[in-house]
Structure 1
């Protein structure tokens, strides 16, 4: 490299405008100072392989505590990006992001294929107790699925839980006799039956004769 090229490169690095070109943020966002005594919060990084809206919700919830303005939101959010997501951020056109709303929009559009498909309450009617599944395991599995459904109606969940039981099951008959129970009462009743079911399974295992290898005559 010639001396003139080296000089030109060093001069370009000294220019403020050259540094600005590498940032997707507008000059207004770049120049906005952070609040006094601001400490960057600890936020789980986004690497480009998970639900963008979940990351965005978590970020916004955290930043509420700091009463952050748009410029600070932009800068801190960019710091939560890692790996492929950080590489994507640096491919954005210089000066293309002027506020956090714009940043959030292009972020969710870029990673929309990773959005988690929200299940509806009707999904619970697809759950059934398996023949070889204990009542406790079915109860645990049902609760886990319900927890993933936002705003799930308790009455719908109660009906779905009962429908997933075999009609000959003792708990099914109990719930059929008292159909007006709340979901909390249904789960409490199921817990009592699960204890009985656990004892029955344990007793069944204990009653099985131990398998001892047959000693062969020498």
Structure 2
């Protein structure tokens, strides 16, 4: 579990109740896994005085559970391997792309294109008709996936 993600999820769910910090503390454990729930249940009554303190204590206890974002360089090292299916490569690419926190869509699109073999039809298509967004890239990929699956 990523603790930042968990706290963000709670904040989002409770956005309409942001003034009711006691309610936020009560809802906090609603999404916890078994190990974290044991920790939460083990907190002494009255040991936490605010939602802010709860998130701080939670973060300190489970700091090793933070997801470490990948740098953009992770995408730079990706290439479609000999014998790798198009679908496997696409899945690997999107998994890595989603682990990068910042918005580098234009770079990600270029990296995807150049990581395909030069003779690949999708690469040729992306060269002939450039795209401007990751959404457009996903649409174009889907077109080529359907062609490959047929």
Superposition TM-score, scaled by structure 2 size = 0.76
Gaps of 5+ in 2: none
Q: How many angstroms apart in 2 are the aligned matches of 1:187 and 1:80?
A: 31
Q: How many angstroms apart in 1 are the aligned matches of 2:136 and 2:28?
A: 43
Counterpart check, 1:115 vs 2:102: no
2:121 corresponding residue in structure 1: 170
Q: How many angstroms apart in 2 are the aligned matches of 1:100 and 1:143?
A: 35
Gaps of 5+ in 1: 1-49, 200-218
Decide which moves more: 107-116 or 83-92.
83-92
2:35 corresponding residue in structure 1: 84
Q: How many angstroms apart in 1 are the aligned matches of 2:141 and 2:109?
A: 11
1:153 corresponding residue in structure 2: 104
Note the C-alpha offset of 1:119: 2.0
- Structure with bigger helix share is 2
SS of equivalent residue, structure 2 residue 14 = helix
The two structures, once aligned, show a CA RMSD in angstroms of 2.8
Q: How many angstroms apart in 2 are the aligned matches of 1:102 and 1:93?
A: 14
Residues 129, 166 of structure 1: 8 Å contact kept: yes
Residues 172 and 105 (structure 1), Cα distance of their counterparts in 2 relative to 1, 3 Å cut: same
Note the C-alpha offset of 1:153: 2.1
1:182 aligned residue (129, 132, 138)? 132
Q: How many angstroms apart in 2 are the aligned matches of 1:64 and 1:106?
A: 21
Superposition TM-score, scaled by structure 1 size = 0.56
Residues 189 and 99 (structure 1), Cα distance of their counterparts in 2 relative to 1, 3 Å cut: closer
Note the C-alpha offset of 1:95: 3.6
Note the C-alpha offset of 1:53: 1.7
- When Rg is computed on C-alpha atoms for both structures, the one with the higher figure is 1
